[in-house]
Structure 1
Amino acid sequence: MEVRHEADEYEARLADAVSVIRETIRRRWVVLLAVTAAVFIAAFVLVSMMTPVYSATAKVRLDPSRSPLAGNAQQTRAELSQEAIDTELTTIRSVDVAREVVRAQGLTGDPEFADSLNQIRNASLANSEARQTVVANALLQHLAVSREKQTYVLNIGFNSTDPVKAARLANAFAAAYIEFRTKRRVGTAREQSEWFQQQLADLGRQASEAEARAAEFRARAGIVESSAQNGTSGTIVDQQVAPLSGSLASAESDAAAARANLAAARAQVGRGGLDTVSEVLSSPVVADLRRQRAEVLRSKGEVEARYGERHPESIRVRDQLASIDSQLQAESRRIVGSLQATAASAEARASSLRSSLNQLERSRESSVRAATTAESLEREAAAKRALFDKTSQMSLDSMQAASAQIAQAEVVNSAEVPARPSSPNKPLLLTLAFLVAAAAGGATITAQEMLSGGFRSVEDLEAQLGIPVLAVVPRVGKSESPTELMLERPTSMFSESFRIARTAILGTRGDAGVKVIALTSSLPAEGKTTSAVAFARTLAIANARVMLLECDVRRAAVRQIIRGGAPNAGLVELLHGEISLEDAIRPGDVPNLDQILVVSPYFSAENLFGEGRMEKLLDVLRDRYDYIVMDLPPLMGLADGRYLAVLADAVALIVKWNSTPISAAKSALGWLRGDGSKPVGVIYTQVDPSAHSVGGLYYYSKQYSDYYQA
């Protein structure tokens, strides 16, 4: 059910949109027709004046063969990629090819292309080459080049007003392209080969000079290369540092050992004499002397025991023992002295090696800088040598390309003279012109509708203001008077609309609580006064006693639209107390209708309707009449209308169809509600009789034509 309801709503909205469009076209068909006709006629003249253009096409096939330098199939396919085809298309459209065509065909005097020369005022066009360039650029404007699907065939099309010329120049472009392509490729390859040879000579010289500078600097700085086993290089100083560091370490170790032995010997001497020194005890000489001393001591004891102490043999043995002791002391002192000499020698050697190493370290700083410079020179030489090698390979490829066969192109289909023009397609252009003209007419009437700024339907009005539409009053012809129309044709559409308003305000049986009915508008010239007069007449014709009270004192327009002469006194004089009520009342132009009008426009800063004067007047009139119709001034810009609307039992707001601004109507309705008035609805005035989408009130349509007086 919900889906069905949404479908019904969509159909209703679509029907409303169609009705709005149909209504707009019906009201503004003259503008639509005029704009459409004007645009179409202008387009028809332009299409008729167009010169027919003929197009001829020559087909050129590219040779897909590849230079023998291609290494694999993938390289062969790469030459015929879309980028390669686009390059060939650009070549055909180049100025050089076009200039060859101009020169070969002698087109500098052709009026179809040479007009561009007359449009350029430049002294440089005096030479033939400049003139050919200008004509070539003009010629390219007529050229169309494309690839035929995914094939190797290129379409070369040319447009001209002469069919024979179109075919001739299309073939000329194909021939010029093939010749230009072959010459350019061979010439380019040879020029590249010559350029490479010149570059190789310069690069070879630069590489040799760089290698020579590197070698000379290495020799001058003493930088040598080591064996190929470790793959390193360095200076002579670098090579001397490592062995010298090892010798220094060994010498310092020996010196430390010698110092330790000497210190130990001196300590032993201090504790017990030379005999306790380890080196002395371990000396073979000392050991032999001790053995001899032991033998002599043993002999001494035997001799002294046998001969006595004074015997010469005993003396000899004692002398021999003293000699051995003397030798032992001498040998011990020699060993200790040897330790001192060894320690001093080791210390001197270590000091010498240390001094030499320090001197090498100082020399090493400058050698490091020299090595860095040497490496930089070697890198430069290597880079130039690599560039030379790469350029040499490129030169070899270029020379091979110069001697290799260049891929060719051939014409597979020459251009033929076209039998019919390719453009303009006049039937299509005229169809498009008609559609554009119709769109321009539609846009014009749409802009008129959008710029109108007012309400265009009952639904729109009720949705915007939130109050019902009491009646829709049709617009009458320019030759007719709305007020006279009601009297002359009481059964017309205009008269019927106010009877509908009466029923909407009072109800089908009449509302006894509504006696004072005020009609007002937001702005002037919306049909307020005419509606008030017509509504009062409608009530009077229905056998009700009616008082028409004109309260728009600044305009005083009622006297101009009713029958009868102008009054001598009216509402202003009555409220001032200058005349009585009986003197102010005048009979209307229909039975049961009385009027209190304004003699002439009245401008004053006083509160004419204040101080209870208007309330008292209405109280008196309520007792004498069934209904009181008040014609109030507009609400915007005037205060009287808002003050008087509060005194009415019902207020009807007049809104002019397609004219009253929406904001103005909203503001007026808001003021009425804010002041405490009783707005009961809107009387929609001056509606186009042909407007069908007015909220379901279709009594202006042809279906109701029999119900109204023509």
Structure 2
Amino acid sequence: MNLHSPSSTVADADLQERGGAPATWLPAVAEGLDIRRIFVAFRRRFRLFAAVALAVLLAVILVTLQATPKYTATANVMLDTRKERVSNVEEVLSGLPADSSAVDTEVEILKSRQLAERVVKGLKLEEDPEFNAAVRKPSGVKMLLGGIASLVGAKAPNLPQANSVEAQKLHEEVVDAVLDGLSVKRAGLTYVINVNYESDSPTKAAIIANKFAELYLLEQMEAKFDATQQATTWLNSRLGELRGQVQTDEAAVQQYKIANNLLSASGTNLTEQEISNYNLTLSQARAQVAEDQARLSTARSQLSRGSSGDDVGEALSSPVVQKLREQRAAVSAQVADLQGRYGERHPEMLKAKRQLSDIDTQIQDEIQRIISNLQAKAQVSSQRAAAVSGSLGGARGTLAANSRAMVRLNELQRNADASRTLYESYLNRYKETSTQGGLEQSDARVVSKAKIPTSQSSPKVALNLALGLVLAVGAGIGAVLLAEMLDAGLATAEDVERRLDTSYLGAIPLLASVAEGRTEAPIDYVMAKPLSSFSEAFRNLRTSVLYSRLGEPVKVVAITSALPGEGKTTTSICLARSAALQGAKVLVVDCDLRRRTVNRMLEAEPEIGLLEVLNGEATLEQTITLDAPSGAYILPLSKSNFTPKDVFGSVAMDKLLADLRQRYDLVILDTAPVLPVADTRVLAPKADVVVFLARWRKTPQHAIEAAFRLLSGTGAHVGGVALTQMDMKQQTKYGYGDPGYYYAEYKKYYVS
């Protein structure tokens, strides 16, 4: 049984993680934009779309109409980077730098709470009803509550403190209300700042905007003036301290000179020069020591590695070694010539070899003399460096003895010089600061004062309506998308095949949607109108079932569903009657031990039935009844013989089905739903095909998938899914691409 392919399993898992079934038209987005499918989805949800959009639009209109008209006035302030230079004296509080961060900082200052408090105080806005709710004319309810509060407060012992707290709270609320109407923005990348104020009154908006600009400039001036005054006061007090310090330090220098007989600071230059010369000589001597020791160490290292001394640097440059090597080369050539001419034992050959050995001995002796010379040089240079170092130590001792008294004197002199320098700098700065009084300039100026606005700034009716319309359309679309995403039911053949990965067997229409005005039951309508579209649906279903297993005969068909109320019994009886009218020998077996719906539909209560046949208490001939109108046969369930035993898994049930295959062309098993009852899972593998019913747009996809998982391990062959109780009129809105979508075009083909 192929219930789920690997691809569908991954898709189902992803679907369950998202917590819902996808919208029926959403695949169009993934596979390619299908405008018609989207149009059908919106036509289907048009009422929802219209209701949500209309509600949002009406809410926007209502809010716009009820909003109080507001007027905005704008004052323009520019940060002026140009300054009037009355004097060259540096200011105590420097001007603002001409950069972007400085402009942004001033914007925040204009929006500061401190400036707003000065505006409130300057314009007495605490007495304005627009900003102070306490001075507004109270309503009847507020008057009553206020009277009660005043009576309660009169009895409280801490009334003054409470009033003080309430007054501060009220003041903060007024400041907050004033700040709510303020908007300060920088004009692009310029140095101009727009001070906007929005109020119920156009005149009041202009006054407050201008007040903010005015107090902002005044605050800059006050800040500079205060900084200058504070600096002057501090410098004056500091000068008195520094003056006393200078006098003390200079007196200490003179007293130390007298006490240590240091009336002149000269006499140390020669000693310092001598130490400098010794330092230079010592550095050269140490460098020579390092060089000689390096040469000696290198030569010894070469000899220790097995060298004959030929590659020692001093040996390479020695004329004696060079001359001996020339002699050795000549003798070596003579040895080679004699060896080839006379052989190894010839007297001339032996004489030449002795000469060659003697030359080698001389070379080695010369190399040893060179090594000894290197060692002697290293010792001499080391002794010279030690002698210079000793002389340097003596000179340093002399200098320390001569300069010990100068150390303290220099320290005292530096302290005196530093104190005088600091005193003079403070004195100069004090004189400069004293002359700055009255020369402070603001770093900004008002470019344009706020004018009384002639039109309201809010609400902007046209803009609000346009935004409301866009918001309404967006909300409507969102509602449609949400409704489609939350629609977990199956509506079309595409839904069945794509979302369940199984075959679509057909659709059973809702009788009221295809036969208006008819009151008979569906099982009777099949007999009354065999050529109707309702009857044709069962013929299509039978055809799909018979060809659901290619190459294999289909005789036993189990009708089941995930949940109760999905039309299993109605479908079973209608399918049986339709097949019987076509000449087939059909038997309906009621396998729902709990409901016995077949009996209720046929209005019969047999004394014996299926259980009696399985228990051997009755024969098939005794229990099977004829459905006289159609010619189909019914194997019912008796009323009182319910048993909890596993009757469908017994050998008797297998024998019964084998017998029925021989007697009938089609055996329809009307089973219980899969999820609540386990009987169907036992019975389903015994049928040739399992027809799974799902109620149109009602049965949740997760319920069907859960039922499929329960059946997957039983070995049952699920032929596919058939949708029941389909409203054919509504299907024309849901089933784009589905046969039911074109029902309005072909319904006249049938006899109603």
Work out whether the TM-score is over 0.5.
yes
Letter of the 1:93 counterpart? K
Match of 1:92 in 2: 110
Match of 1:41 in 2: 58
Deviation at 1:675, TM superposition (A): 2.6
* Equivalent residue for 1:112, pick from 119, 130, 137: 130
Question: How many residue pairs end up in the alignment?
Answer: 571
Query: d(CA) in 1 for partners of 2:57 and 2:41?
Result: 21
Question: Is 1:415 matched up with 2:456?
Answer: no
Root-mean-square deviation over aligned CA pairs: 4.6
Q: CA 1:547/1:446 → structure 2, altered by over 3 Å: closer, same or farther?
A: same
Query: d(CA) in 1 for partners of 2:68 and 2:220?
Result: 35
Q: Residue 644 of structure 2: SS of its match in structure 1?
A: coil
Query: d(CA) in 2 for partners of 1:606 and 1:419?
Result: 91
Query: Equivalent pairs: percent with the same residue?
Result: 32
Q: CA 1:580/1:508 → structure 2, altered by over 3 Å: closer, same or farther?
A: closer
Match of 1:697 in 2: 738
**Deviations 1:539-564 (CA, angstroms, capped at 9, x unpaired):** 1222211111111112212223x344
Deviation at 1:132, TM superposition (A): 6.3
Letter of the 1:706 counterpart? K
Question: Is 1:553 matched up with 2:619?
Answer: no
Greater Cα shift, 507-516 or 136-145: 507-516
Q: Residue 144 of structure 1: SS of its match in structure 2?
A: strand
* Equivalent residue for 2:493, pick from 439, 455, 458: 458
Deviation at 1:36, TM superposition (A): 3.3
Query: d(CA) in 2 for partners of 1:487 and 1:537?
Result: 7
**Deviations 1:305-364 (CA, angstroms, capped at 9, x unpaired):** xxxxxxxxxxxxxxxxxxxxxxxxxxxxxxxxxxxxxxxxxxxxxxxxxxxx9xxx9xx9
**Within 5 A, what are the aligned runs for 1:16-55?**
16=34, 19=37, 21-55=38-72
Query: d(CA) in 1 for partners of 2:53 and 2:454?
Result: 35
Match of 2:31 in 1: 13
* Equivalent residue for 1:520, pick from 560, 565, 570: 560
Deviation at 1:61, TM superposition (A): 4.1
Letter of the 1:86 counterpart? D
Query: d(CA) in 1 for partners of 2:523 and 2:224?
Result: 96
Q: CA 1:126/1:231 → structure 2, altered by over 3 Å: closer, same or farther?
A: farther
Match of 1:266 in 2: none
Letter of the 1:430 counterpart? L
Greater Cα shift, 102-111 or 145-154: 145-154
Greater Cα shift, 61-70 or 498-507: 61-70
**Within 5 A, what are the aligned runs for 1:643-662?**
643-662=682-701
Q: CA 1:62/1:559 → structure 2, altered by over 3 Å: closer, same or farther?
A: same
Question: Is 1:195 matched up with 2:234?
Answer: yes
Match of 1:123 in 2: 163
Q: CA 1:190/1:559 → structure 2, altered by over 3 Å: closer, same or farther?
A: same
Q: CA 1:688/1:67 → structure 2, altered by over 3 Å: closer, same or farther?
A: farther
Deviation at 1:88, TM superposition (A): 3.6
Query: d(CA) in 1 for partners of 2:254 and 2:200?
Result: 76
Compute the TM-score of the two structures, normalised by the length of structure 1.
0.68
Q: CA 1:433/1:82 → structure 2, altered by over 3 Å: closer, same or farther?
A: same
Question: Is 1:707 matched up with 2:725?
Answer: no
Structure 2, gaps ≥5 residues long: 1-26, 137-145, 150-160, 273-392
Query: d(CA) in 1 for partners of 2:586 and 2:127?
Result: 95
Deviation at 1:511, TM superposition (A): 7.8
Question: Are the equivalent residues in 1 in contact too, given 2:40–2:736 (CA < 8 A)?
Answer: no
Q: CA 1:580/1:460 → structure 2, altered by over 3 Å: closer, same or farther?
A: same
**Deviations 1:156-190 (CA, angstroms, capped at 9, x unpaired):** 22111111222232233333333343343233323
Q: CA 1:136/1:27 → structure 2, altered by over 3 Å: closer, same or farther?
A: closer
Q: Residue 513 of structure 1: SS of its match in structure 2?
A: coil
Q: CA 1:161/1:86 → structure 2, altered by over 3 Å: closer, same or farther?
A: same
**Deviations 1:654-676 (CA, angstroms, capped at 9, x unpaired):** 23344444454345435545333
Q: Residue 630 of structure 1: SS of its match in structure 2?
A: strand
Q: CA 1:568/1:372 → structure 2, altered by over 3 Å: closer, same or farther?
A: farther
Match of 2:570 in 1: 530
Q: CA 1:194/1:12 → structure 2, altered by over 3 Å: closer, same or farther?
A: closer
Q: CA 1:140/1:226 → structure 2, altered by over 3 Å: closer, same or farther?
A: same
Deviation at 1:631, TM superposition (A): 1.1
Match of 1:636 in 2: 675
Q: Residue 120 of structure 2: SS of its match in structure 1?
A: helix
Query: d(CA) in 2 for partners of 1:374 and 1:606?
Result: 121
Deviation at 1:28, TM superposition (A): 3.9
**Deviations 1:483-507 (CA, angstroms, capped at 9, x unpaired):** 4553454445443332222121224
Q: Residue 634 of structure 2: SS of its match in structure 1?
A: strand
Query: d(CA) in 1 for partners of 2:725 and 2:634?
Result: 25
**Deviations 1:126-177 (CA, angstroms, capped at 9, x unpaired):** 88x9976653443232122233334443322211111122223223333333
Q: CA 1:447/1:412 → structure 2, altered by over 3 Å: closer, same or farther?
A: closer
* Equivalent residue for 1:620, pick from 626, 642, 659: 659
Q: Residue 418 of structure 1: SS of its match in structure 2?
A: coil
Q: CA 1:124/1:577 → structure 2, altered by over 3 Å: closer, same or farther?
A: same
Letter of the 2:56 counterpart? V
**Structure ranking higher on relative contact order (CA contacts 8 Å, 6+ apart):** 2
Question: Are the equivalent residues in 2 in contact too, given 1:70–1:76 (CA < 8 A)?
Answer: no
Greater Cα shift, 448-457 or 626-635: 448-457
Match of 2:644 in 1: 605
Letter of the 1:547 counterpart? L
**Deviations 1:20-62 (CA, angstroms, capped at 9, x unpaired):** x444444444444333333333333222211110111223344
Query: d(CA) in 2 for partners of 1:26 and 1:601?
Result: 52
Question: Is 1:431 matched up with 2:466?
Answer: yes
Query: d(CA) in 2 for partners of 1:374 and 1:709?
Result: 131
Q: Which has the larger radius of gyration?
A: 1
Query: d(CA) in 2 for partners of 1:151 and 1:107?
Result: 32
Letter of the 2:647 counterpart? L
Question: Are the equivalent residues in 1 in contact too, given 2:494–2:738 (CA < 8 A)?
Answer: no
Q: CA 1:522/1:146 → structure 2, altered by over 3 Å: closer, same or farther?
A: closer
Q: CA 1:181/1:566 → structure 2, altered by over 3 Å: closer, same or farther?
A: same
Match of 1:566 in 2: 605
Q: Residue 205 of structure 2: SS of its match in structure 1?
A: helix
Deviation at 1:508, TM superposition (A): 11
Compute the TM-score of the two structures, normalised by the length of structure 2.
0.64
Greater Cα shift, 96-105 or 460-469: 96-105
Deviation at 1:579, TM superposition (A): 2.9
Match of 1:64 in 2: 81
Q: Residue 519 of structure 1: SS of its match in structure 2?
A: strand
Q: CA 1:508/1:543 → structure 2, altered by over 3 Å: closer, same or farther?
A: farther
Q: Residue 699 of structure 1: SS of its match in structure 2?
A: helix
Deviation at 1:593, TM superposition (A): 0.9
Letter of the 2:504 counterpart? V
Question: Are the equivalent residues in 2 in contact too, given 1:554–1:601 (CA < 8 A)?
Answer: no
Query: d(CA) in 2 for partners of 1:588 and 1:420?
Result: 86
Deviation at 1:114, TM superposition (A): 1.8
Question: Are the equivalent residues in 2 in contact too, given 1:67–1:405 (CA < 8 A)?
Answer: no
Q: Residue 517 of structure 1: SS of its match in structure 2?
A: strand
Letter of the 1:527 counterpart? G
Question: Are the equivalent residues in 2 in contact too, given 1:563–1:589 (CA < 8 A)?
Answer: no
